[in-house]
């Protein structure tokens, strides 16, 4: 692999799956992109050390995992608002916090495909239960080494010896880290997590619920929105640290933001459907009466259960719109 063009061709075919791997490790799409670049740089510098005893794919995963571990050393875990404080009754006066390492969503369009069709047999599709926000939020509670052990063993299916070698420890220690990680995940995942059927994409039923929600938001129809929310729905809005628990609290916050006579008035909405973390999602745009166009507002990721929205995470980071392939604005006459 001494020729740079040949090297680039060989490693680039693994970019998509390495991006997913790094995202799982660090919980940030932005940092995952940087880590893939760092992985390829380290691989190029160490190309003479690759002796073919493992597949190129496994060698790159080893380098990527170590790059992630280096980044995570001493770093605070990424969070969502409900990890920081109790729910709020009102969103008045909320201030975004840039000092908090927020979890980020992952565009489904970057999941397809995660490996070339002729890849090694262990290059499997990204299943929903290992990429959804609940999994990403839970895995953030693990120390970096436990996080790596869980992902490599339970997600990628690596054997214990291979994981131990990567972590520079014994098989017994690697297995112990895995067991501790599994125990923590059981306490951090939602109570009814096992009721969520494994899948590789959101279902048509879930997407239909989201579309009805989008239409209700565009009409500013509070009653219709309320009817689509679970009674115990949770709504979060990173980078704003506040969050709401329950249908009444969510509807009350919407009512204030939809009233043009109140200082909380946001504007009128237009929505575009997308998908994130194998979950239904929508890009929200807003426009006030004097605006020439609808401007990016938030990227909302929904968890749908029993025909209603059980959780809604609205990422108020408009830089995400480009990663999701969303337009920079929508015309006012749409």
| Alpha carbon 74 to chain centroid, angstroms | 22
Task: Kindly tell me if the per-residue pLDDT of 196 is higher than 90.
Answer: no
Of the listed ranges 63-72, 141-150, 250-259, 318-327, the least confidently predicted one is 250-259
Task: Kindly tell me if the per-residue pLDDT of 195 is higher than 60.
Answer: no
3.40.50.970, 3.40.50.880, 1.20.140.160, 1.10.220.70: which CATH number matches 4-195? 1.20.140.160
Task: Kindly tell me if the per-residue pLDDT of 113 is higher than 70.
Answer: no
User: Exposed, middle or buried, 306 (CB in 10 Å: 0-12/13-18/19+)?
Assistant: exposed
The secondary element (H helix, E strand) that includes residue 139 is: helix 133-139
* Phi and psi based region of residue 164 (left: phi greater than 0; alpha: psi -120 to 50; beta: remaining): alpha
Task: Kindly tell me if the per-residue pLDDT of 331 is higher than 90.
Answer: yes
pLDDT given for residue 2 in this prediction = 65
pLDDT digits (tens, 9 = 90+) for 120-133: 544 456 778 889 99
Task: Kindly tell me if the per-residue pLDDT of 183 is higher than 90.
Answer: yes
Of the listed ranges 93-107, 250-264, 283-297, the least confidently predicted one is 250-264
pLDDT given for residue 260 in this prediction = 85
pLDDT given for residue 93 in this prediction = 67
Where does CATH 1.20.140.160 sit in the chain?
4-195
- In Å, what is the CA distance from 186 to each residue of 5, 103, 138, 182, 304? 45, 20, 9, 6, 21
Share of the chain above pLDDT 70, in %: 90
Task: Kindly tell me if the per-residue pLDDT of 225 is higher than 90.
Answer: yes
pLDDT given for residue 200 in this prediction = 59
C-alpha–C-alpha distance, residues 254 and 56, integer Å: 51
pLDDT given for residue 121 in this prediction = 47
Picking from 64, 100, 155, 126, the residue whose alpha carbon sits closest to that of residue 277 is: 126
pLDDT digits (tens, 9 = 90+) for 303-312: 999 999 999 9
Where does CATH 3.10.450.50 sit in the chain?
204-331
pLDDT digits (tens, 9 = 90+) for 35-49: 999 999 999 998 888
User: Among all chains, which residue has been given the structure tokens 């006030």?
Assistant: 288
Q: Are 266 and 294 in contact (CB under 8 A)?
A: no
C-alpha–C-alpha distance, residues 216 and 275, integer Å: 19
pLDDT given for residue 199 in this prediction = 59
Does the 204-331 domain belong in CATH 3.10.450.50? yes
Of the listed ranges 94-103, 188-197, 227-236, 260-269, the least confidently predicted one is 188-197
pTM (predicted TM-score): 0.91
Average pLDDT of every residue of the chain: 89
Direct distance between the N- and C-terminal alpha carbons of the chain, in angstroms, rounded to an integer: 52
pLDDT given for residue 116 in this prediction = 52
Cα dihedral 299, 305, 309, 311 sign: negative
pLDDT digits (tens, 9 = 90+) for 205-214: 999 999 999 9
């Amino acid at each position: 692999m001494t020729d740079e063009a040949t090297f680039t061709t060989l490693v680039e075919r693994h970019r998509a799956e390495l991006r997913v791997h790094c995202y799982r490790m660090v919980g940030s799409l932005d940092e995952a992109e940087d880590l893939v670049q760092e992985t390829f740089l380290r691989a190029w510098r160490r190309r003479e050390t690759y002796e073919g005893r493992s597949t190129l794919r496994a060698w790159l995963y080893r380098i990527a995992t170590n790059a992630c571990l280096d980044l995570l050393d001493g770093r605070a875990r990424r969070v969502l608002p409900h990890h920081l404080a109790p729910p709020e009754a009102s969103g008045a006066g909320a201030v975004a916090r840039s000092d908090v390492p927020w979890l980020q969503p992952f565009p489904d369009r970057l999941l397809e495909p995660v490996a070339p069709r002729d890849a090694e047999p262990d290059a499997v599709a990204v299943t929903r239960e290992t990429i959804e926000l609940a999994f990403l939020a839970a895995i953030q509670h693990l120390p970096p080494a436990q996080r790596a052990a869980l992902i490599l063993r339970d997600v990628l299916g690596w054997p214990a010896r291979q994981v131990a070698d990567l972590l520079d420890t014994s098989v017994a220690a690697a297995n112990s880290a895995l067991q501790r990680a599994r125990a923590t995940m059981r306490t951090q995942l939602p109570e009814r997590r096992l009721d969520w059927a494994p899948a590789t994409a959101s279902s048509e039923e879930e997407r239909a619920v989201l579309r009805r929600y989008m239409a209700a938001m565009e009409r500013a129809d509070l009653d219709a929105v309320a009817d689509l929310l679970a009674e115990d729905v949770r709504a979060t809005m990173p980078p704003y640290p506040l969050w709401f628990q329950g249908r009444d609290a969510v509807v009350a916050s919407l009512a204030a933001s939809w009233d043009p006579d109140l200082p909380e008035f946001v504007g009128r909405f237009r929505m575009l459907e997308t998908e994130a973390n194998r979950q239904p999602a929508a890009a929200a745009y807003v426009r006030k009466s004097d605006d020439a166009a609808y401007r990016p507002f938030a990227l909302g990721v929904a968890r749908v259960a029993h025909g209603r929205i059980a959780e809604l995470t609205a990422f108020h980071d408009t830089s995400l719109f480009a990663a999701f392939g969303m337009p920079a604005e929508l015309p006012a006459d749409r």
